[in-house]
Amino acid sequence: MIFAPGALGGTVRVPGDKSISHRALMLAACSAQPVSITNLNAGHDVAATCTALRALGATIHWNGDDATVTGGTLHDADGTLDCMNSGSTARMIAGLCAGANLRARLDGDASLRRRPMEPVAAQLRAFGARIETTDAHLPAQIAGTAEPQTRSFILLSPSAQIKTALLLAGVFARVPIAITGDKGSRDHTERLLRYWGAGISFDRERIVLESPPVSFEAVRVAGDFSAAAFFIVAATVTPGSAVRIENVGVNPTRTGLLDALQDMGAHIRLENPREESGEPVADIVVEHARLRGVPVGQQTVVRAIDEIPVLAVAAAFAHGETRISGVRDLRNKESDRVEAIAHLLEAAGIEAATSDDAIVIRGGTPRAQGAIVETHGDHRTAMAAAALASGAGPLEIDDPGSIAVSFPGFIEAWQAAQAA
């Protein structure tokens, strides 16, 4: 697949938020009555969660981007739960099993088997579950508990997935829990629980779940900000661009990219702000702008962890130096995204100096001439290559199929925006 240069225009719609989709499916599985979810992300990661929940006894009718979920009485999984490439599925379903007193074997593809499982396993063991990992990774065997032990937890580093696993354990066990040490990771689980009537309080540091959900109103999943990010950056760096991205989730725990880009001089505005199913939503309007390099600190990175590859693309076009700090966790994603960023920018003649926890990019005038970018099966690297190509010149990716993990219709949407 070759991405061509060219300005972006018109109106874009992105799929439902992947993070919210996982959480909506899992929490809906504790309802004995049907729960309606619309605008569900149709990517492979969410499909992995859907398949796992069905194997545990949930009934899920899924048609396009709409689904109806009925949970009620769940049961042990007969076979292995294949989490495919989805770390969210593996870590969060472990929390559900822990609280619902279920037994399951979790596994995934080669990429997921390289990602750490002990941080979440250790917390769930404290809750009372029995978990055996394979050298701290998948495959893992889990046996939930009918007698929860620890109910107060401290996160050693901000992690929305571990936090969600613990909240799911509390919800399915119907016991109160408290979590500290969060430091502002994405709060979709907390918002959805509040929307469904759970007794919950939360801020950027502490979460207290006092009681489970009591009503399961229909949920409309906000548009995925992480998917919108590629259009936002491409329009910013490509002369002649002006694009509107409709119905995007703008949860402040997710919009660190917007803050960084606006510090760099981007022309971005939010229109038609509103709330849907407990989440802030808006239309994002972006025009081309000249950028300058800025320091991007860890507090911003926590709120932009999935957008760092495409933020690095913006930095490649910025005048001066951009230093992005606090990126250690990117080395344990679908690929080592720190090194993937360096190789991606190198394809357009821009050097990125990397260390264990930082990326330093000296921007300039990226020029690509059809180089092949190795994605290592990582959907975000593949889509970041499209954003880089839009302003720098043609780039080829080795694995366009990886994009279907989160955004199956991305290539068509991209081509339409460039043709507008």
Question: Which residues are annotated as catalytic?
Answer: 306
Which H or E run includes 92?
Answer: helix 87-100
Q: Give the rounded distance of the alpha carbon of 124 from its chain centre.
A: 22
Give the integer Cα–Cα distance in Å for 48 and 65.
Answer: 15
277: left (phi over 0), alpha (psi -120 to 50) or beta: left
Give the integer Cα–Cα distance in Å for 163 and 380.
Answer: 23
What lies within 8 Å, CB to CB, of 195 at 6+ separation is 217, 219, 277, 278
- Helix 308-317 × helix 337-346 angle, to 10°: 30
Phi, psi of 132 (to 5 degrees): -120, 120
Copy the structure tokens of residue 193.
């629980």
Q: How many CA atoms does the CB half-sphere of 316 hold within 13 Å?
A: 34
Rounded to 5°, angle at Cα 374 from 369 and 375? 120
Q: Are 32 and 70 in contact (CB under 8 A)?
A: yes
Q: Counting every residue, how long is the chain? A: 420
Q: Are 48 and 91 in contact (CB under 8 A)?
A: no
Strand pairing partners for 82? Answer: 107
Cβ count near 253 (within 10 Å): 19
Give the integer Cα–Cα distance in Å for 37 and 60.
Answer: 10
Give the integer Cα–Cα distance in Å for 167 and 94.
Answer: 11
Cβ count near 112 (within 10 Å): 22
Give the integer Cα–Cα distance in Å for 337 and 301.
Answer: 14
Give the integer Cα–Cα distance in Å for 281 and 409.
Answer: 21
Query: DSSP characters for 228-285?
Result: HHHHHHHHHHSTT-EEEEEEEE--TTT-HHHHHHHHHT-EEEEEEEEEETTEEEEEEE
Residue type, 208: V
